[in-house]
Structure 1
Amino acid sequence: MTVRNPTLAIEIDRQKPLPIYLQICERFRTAIAAGHLRPGDRVPALRGLAAQLSTARGTVELAYTILVDEGYLQMRGAAGTFVSPSLSESLMQAAPAGGSQDAPDAQTTEAAGAAKTPDASPSGQPRARQSAIAVALSGEPRALQPGLPALDAFPRKIWSRLVTRRARSGERTLLAYPDPVGYLPLREHIATYLGLSRGVTCLPDQVFITSGYRATLELVLRSLASPGDRMWFEDPGYLLARSFLAETGVQLVPVPIDEEGIDVERGIERDPEARFALVTPSHQSSLGNTLSLARRMALLTWAETGSRWIIEDDYDSEFRYLGRPLPALKSLDRHDRVLYCGTFSKVMFPGLRLAYTVVPERAVERVGRVACSMNAGAPTLFQAALADFFEQGHFARHVKRMRTLYGQRRLLIAQALKQTFGEQLTVELPSGGIQFSVQFAEAAHGPVDDVAVASRARQAGLAVLPLSIWYAHGRMRDTPRGLVMGFANITDANEAGRLARTLRACLDG
């Protein structure tokens, strides 16, 4: 079979207000609609296109991620990236065909929405997810950004001293290729920490260090998944995980969430033979609910009886404001079916790019082989500094201090929102985490367009996300409409009130 490699001249205009990654997206959509790119065509590699456009590789990667998520492109690992062979007619006709390839300005793009492009991707996701991904991957911290810890309260002097000391030590291991499975002293500290704080009993050999949650999922799926495997996925569920999983070929089975967390019975009704379940039991992403004990046991029973795998994403469980932190789902796992995933992006800072997974003993050898073949270990310098952060007691003190601080800051924004919005907004704070969701009351003319509200909020400098896009079918009339926001960086009541008033103005239009 011959694969076409059409010559594609992509130009960007750095004078336009539209971000470069969105300009790249528009150029590809236009080329596909005009027939210059056909289903099955190979498109330029990330590095090559970045060099051609004189832009960062990450910018091109973000554009490709969006296009994959929308169904235009398909990534095939080392083989390259291709125009999706199963591209639907609606997507091929979505962008304007013709000679002009000028991208619309940012205001037109935001306002036109579904009028210019399909309202949903083939997987049922609204196109507004591209903006949410951009917010999540943005390097510039913004007010109310979900998942962003308190950057102002991080002990930077202590951290800088630890990193500097390690860098000056002259250790040869810090200059060599990092161990693909992780720096052993850090793995030992993580194993001890999880045993004490989360009830997870494990050996250091079961702990694998990765460069982030996406890298964790890639390691797990490359090790344990087969083509065509199906996975229960919370509905609503974590946006970035859904976007990545759509690229891997795993078939996602949306399972509803209620006040007790993922509805295991509904999951069994929808697909009893699914191979995986990806869950956030301690602080559901995005509703904030906690998985009840009955549901936890039912989920473990389902996994045990079919030799299935549960991926537990415990992304911000360190922060709980009512009672002690709940034990992890993994702590109840008596049959070794749970892979426990944690990250330092929330408890430390996201620029650290360190995460980890605890693998069942039966899978350690398999995951170890894949980790070595991927050869994608995280920088040893930061792993060693983090091990020192644990060793000297700074980690435990930092978590304790942040738990108190976040407990105060969450109340500031909750009180400000209730005072500003009144009955127009339902604010129910979860018992843990560094982000939460709020829901709009239905307006006289129907459901509030939370995508439009979030768009106006972005223009006002806020990083809130529309709640509806976390659902598999986000534009259904009965889908809850609201916002997902972080609160860790709110410093005082005055700032909380100002941000609440800004959001209210965005609701009013």
Structure 2
Amino acid sequence: MNLAILKQLKGSKITAEALRETIASAIENKHLEPGEKLPSTRDMALYLGISRTTVMKSLESLIATGHLMTSPGAGTWVRKTARNGSQSADESNEKQSQATGYPWQERYSHLAANLHAQRIEAIENTDFDEINYGSAPSDMLPVQAWRKSLMHWSRSAENFDFGANSDAFGYLPLRKAIAGYLRRTKQIICKPEQIVIGSGVQSVVSPAFSLLVKPDDAIICENPGFWGAREQFHSLGAAVIPVGIDEHGLIVEQLDEIDRPVQWIYVEPSCQEPSGVMLSEPRRVALIDWCQRHNCAILEDDWDSEFQYDGQAAPSLFSLDKTGSVIYFYSFWRLLYPLVSVSFLVIPEQLIETFQSYKCSWDRQFTLVEHLVLTEMLDKNIIETHMRAMWKSLRKRRQALIFALKKQFKDDVKLASSTSGMHVVVQFKESVPEETILSCAKKAGLSCATTRPYYAHSAKANEFMLR
């Protein structure tokens, strides 16, 4: 859709109803073709100088009237069925097929039924592409070293031992290299057999959730916290209990106020997302103690743990735990996307057989070349050298950004009390429109994304991740 279609609205007070009527008219007059995709709500709001809330209200109304269709992650587009009552042969056949087609909803599993019933707010790609989807800035990627290793292994493809990708947990030399990396950088002592490799974040944590989370299990999540995990728990029928955070991380004292047994705690102790705060060492000890007393397991998401700018990193929950009740998650995606998306779990030994059965049945193969390249980069300490260089660069950027924000905005801006991560969380005065903040950040060359999706409730107005 060309935004110029909305040009007639500019210069007047734009309401959700006026925007709805303009788009509906464009559809009915064939200015917008069936199947044509609409711009993101953010782009439309910026173009018109209105709030995203106004845009979203108008689009929701058009979806309800059948003018538009939407899908999480795919965006919003013009419905293919004509609104004037006329139908093409294909549209008529489609409608007839839908009326007399196979009743697939009767075959839905518990998971599919939950996903169908659950209305998840679509997180538009444009909300996060500004910050490279949360991964490292593209100008910091070790492209040259990655390309050199990739070319080496690609030229040697005819000599590959393709039996090496038969291990369901991933390429064994890579798992050995990861075990060494964890020992050197995280003080985590584990066996390669405990490491379960996958591609991407969801492909690794999903097996853990699917295997170990039961319907109606109570799961504690930080609020704010990673929305992807929270929505997966909801889809499995679990009861998600949001618990607040402060400058010391998850408020462990609030756990005693929960009036039902808790089976899981999902926590980001090294760099809480999006706030960037680190769970203090006393609270780590208290959390481990609480979980042991209440027979509760922990999924430790070690997100963005490499970039601590004030003092030493605290020990991981996995290394503090002595009972085997912690599953540890880590992703090289954070450092190397889009070059690599390898993520992994470190699981207690008593879960190895269960996870092997799952992987053999559902997710056995992996991209061998990617594993070969990452193994070489770990064995040659290229990753750790890259991390140190990134730390120095990000620290300088962070200091410059914080100084500039304080100098320019003074008391009109509130900065999160965090000392880790790739971004700074900033809250502006509520009187400043969100679209103005996004537009000004873009003009200043700053990457900017709202923190709204991270909140289960009580999202803070005008709070953004900046870098």
Aligned to 2:327: 339
Q: State the shift of 1:324 in Å.
A: 3.0
Instruction: Note the 1:164-183 alignment, pairs <5 A.
Output: 164-169=151-156, 170-174=158-162, 179-183=167-171
* In structure 1, distance between residues paired with 2:355 and 2:186: 23
Change (3 A) 1:18 1:347: closer
SS at match of 1:346: helix
Instruction: Note the 1:236-275 alignment, pairs <5 A.
Output: 236-275=224-263
User: Structure 1 counterpart of 2:141, which letter?
Assistant: F
Aligned to 2:316: 328
Change (3 A) 1:77 1:161: farther
For residue 130 of structure 1, the aligned residue among 123, 131, 135 is 123
* In structure 1, distance between residues paired with 2:416 and 2:60: 40
* In structure 2, distance between residues paired with 1:28 and 1:369: 45
Change (3 A) 1:240 1:450: farther
* In structure 2, distance between residues paired with 1:34 and 1:84: 23
For residue 348 of structure 1, the aligned residue among 329, 336, 339 is 336
- Does the aligned pair in 2 maintain the 1:344–1:350 contact within 8 Å? no
Instruction: Note the 1:177-326 alignment, pairs <5 A.
Output: 179-326=167-314
Aligned to 1:149: 136
- Does the aligned pair in 2 maintain the 1:275–1:309 contact within 8 Å? yes
Change (3 A) 1:473 1:78: closer
Q: State the shift of 1:256 in Å.
A: 0.6
For residue 465 of structure 1, the aligned residue among 434, 443, 449 is 449
Report the identity percentage: 27
Aligned to 1:160: 147
Residues 397-419 of structure 1 deviation map (CA, whole Å, 9 limit, x = unaligned): 11122111211111121122222
* In structure 2, distance between residues paired with 1:333 and 1:453: 47
* In structure 2, distance between residues paired with 1:254 and 1:399: 33
Instruction: Note the 1:364-383 alignment, pairs <5 A.
Output: 364-375=352-363, 377-383=365-371
Residues 34-58 of structure 1 deviation map (CA, whole Å, 9 limit, x = unaligned): 599xxxxxx99x99xx9x99xxxxx
Aligned to 2:464: 483
Change (3 A) 1:226 1:458: farther
* In structure 2, distance between residues paired with 1:375 and 1:145: 27
- Does the aligned pair in 1 maintain the 2:115–2:235 contact within 8 Å? no
Q: What TM-score comes out, normalization by structure 2 length?
A: 0.73
Residues 179-232 of structure 1 deviation map (CA, whole Å, 9 limit, x = unaligned): 431111111111111122111111000011111221122011122121221210
Aligned to 2:392: 404
Change (3 A) 1:272 1:258: farther
- Does the aligned pair in 1 maintain the 2:165–2:366 contact within 8 Å? no
Residues 320-358 of structure 1 deviation map (CA, whole Å, 9 limit, x = unaligned): 222333321211111111111101122222441111110
Larger Rg: 2
Change (3 A) 1:130 1:357: same
* In structure 1, distance between residues paired with 2:309 and 2:250: 22
- Does the aligned pair in 2 maintain the 1:146–1:464 contact within 8 Å? no
Aligned to 1:103: none
User: Structure 2 counterpart of 1:135, which letter?
Assistant: D
SS at match of 2:366: coil
- Does the aligned pair in 2 maintain the 1:178–1:379 contact within 8 Å? no
Residues 343-396 of structure 1 deviation map (CA, whole Å, 9 limit, x = unaligned): 112222244111111001121211221122221543111011100001122122
Equivalences, count: 393
Change (3 A) 1:162 1:351: closer
Aligned to 1:495: none
* In structure 1, distance between residues paired with 2:206 and 2:114: 22
- Does the aligned pair in 2 maintain the 1:354–1:378 contact within 8 Å? no
User: Structure 1 counterpart of 2:464, which letter?
Assistant: L
* In structure 1, distance between residues paired with 2:114 and 2:40: 24
Q: State the shift of 1:241 in Å.
A: 2.6
User: Structure 2 counterpart of 1:348, which letter?
Assistant: L
User: Structure 1 counterpart of 2:392, which letter?
Assistant: T
Q: State the shift of 1:84 in Å.
A: 6.9
* In structure 1, distance between residues paired with 2:365 and 2:409: 47
Residues 439-479 of structure 1 deviation map (CA, whole Å, 9 limit, x = unaligned): 224xxxxx44775556656886865222344222235xxx4
User: Structure 1 counterpart of 2:193, which letter?
Assistant: D
Aligned to 1:12: 35
* In structure 2, distance between residues paired with 1:333 and 1:80: 32
* In structure 2, distance between residues paired with 1:457 and 1:218: 38
* In structure 2, distance between residues paired with 1:176 and 1:189: 15
* In structure 1, distance between residues paired with 2:436 and 2:164: 49
* In structure 1, distance between residues paired with 2:199 and 2:338: 10
User: Structure 1 counterpart of 2:35, which letter?
Assistant: I
User: Structure 2 counterpart of 1:392, which letter?
Assistant: K
* In structure 2, distance between residues paired with 1:288 and 1:303: 23
- Does the aligned pair in 1 maintain the 2:269–2:279 contact within 8 Å? yes
User: Structure 2 counterpart of 1:203, which letter?
Assistant: K
RMSD: 3.9
- Does the aligned pair in 1 maintain the 2:171–2:371 contact within 8 Å? yes
Q: State the shift of 1:308 in Å.
A: 2.1
Deviates more, 1:188-197 or 1:300-309: 300-309
- Does the aligned pair in 2 maintain the 1:255–1:266 contact within 8 Å? yes
- Does the aligned pair in 2 maintain the 1:230–1:276 contact within 8 Å? yes
Q: State the shift of 1:18 in Å.
A: 5.1
SS at match of 1:268: helix
User: Structure 1 counterpart of 2:168, which letter?
Assistant: P
* In structure 2, distance between residues paired with 1:278 and 1:160: 36
User: Structure 1 counterpart of 2:295, which letter?
Assistant: S
Unaligned runs of 5+ in 1: 1-9, 37-42, 54-73, 88-120, 442-446, 488-509
SS at match of 2:123: helix
Unaligned runs of 5+ in 2: 1-32, 45-55, 81-104
Residues 263-313 of structure 1 deviation map (CA, whole Å, 9 limit, x = unaligned): 122123125512111111111111111112222122112222333211111
